[in-house]
Amino acid sequence: MKKQLWFILGFLLVTFSQNSYAQNDAAAKALLAKVSQKYNGYKTIQANFSLDVKQANGGAHSDAGTIYLDKGSNRYQVNTKNQTLISDAKTQWNIMKAEKEVEVSEASNSTNEINPTNIFSFYNTGFRYKLANTEKVKGTALSVIELTPVDGKKNYSKIKLRINKTNNLIYDTTIFDKSGNRYTYTLGSQEGNKTLAANLFTFNKTDYKGFDIVDLR
């Protein structure tokens, strides 16, 4: 199996327990409720994103792309320059363009990990949280919430969630893993309830002639 891009590794990095909120900051709880209400009003989401990875050894990596999510059916497509991830909620296709390889696996719709189906709502379970100071980026005021896992055995120490104070949308999410790596996902334009074409969530083999198909199921 060839290595996957940092984008996919970052999503699958974070698993968490299902414990409910406990011993949390009331102000942070109220803000997260507003954020959750905002995203709960969307049946579909299309968002541009960028990913910046800072490794403990000083290395760095960046990427960018678009995510299309049909929340009701748990279908998604994540598309970057070098990789496309497609799921119809039953099967997942990981298309590695440079390697000309497609890995086929069972779709993971688990609520115990951050994955494309819940990146807008993962904070709802498994964390303690507190409201930190407001920060500004390019004139945009951001509320900062620090999340720590209820289960201290997880392989990350905390997650920093920054929320646009004007519209209660997530601005970025930074994952701090215990090995010293840092993953920051920044969301650009976010469109809710946009009509998404059904073929975004299906794999068409004829579009990938010459690709090796590796079935991992």
The pTM of this model reads 0.86
Find the radius of gyration of the CA atoms of the chain: 17
What are the counts of helices (DSSP H) followed by strands (DSSP E) for the chain?
2, 13
Q: pLDDT of 137-186, one tens digit each?
A: 999 999 999 999 888 777 788 999 999 999 999 999 999 989 899 999 99
CB of 44 closer than 8 Å to CB of 71: yes
Cβ contacts of 117 within 8 Å, gap of 6 or more: 69, 71, 74, 76, 87, 109
CB burial readout 54-82, b (16+ within 10 A) else e: beeeeeeeebebebbbbbeebbbbbebee
State the pLDDT confidence band at 40, using cuts at 50, 70 and 90: very high
CA distances (Å), 47 to each of 7, 79, 117, 191, in order?
15, 11, 13, 6
pLDDT value at residue 126? 84
Residue 37, pLDDT > 50, answer: yes
Cα separation of 20 and 108, whole Å?
21
Residue 9, pLDDT > 80, answer: no
CB of 201 closer than 8 Å to CB of 88: yes
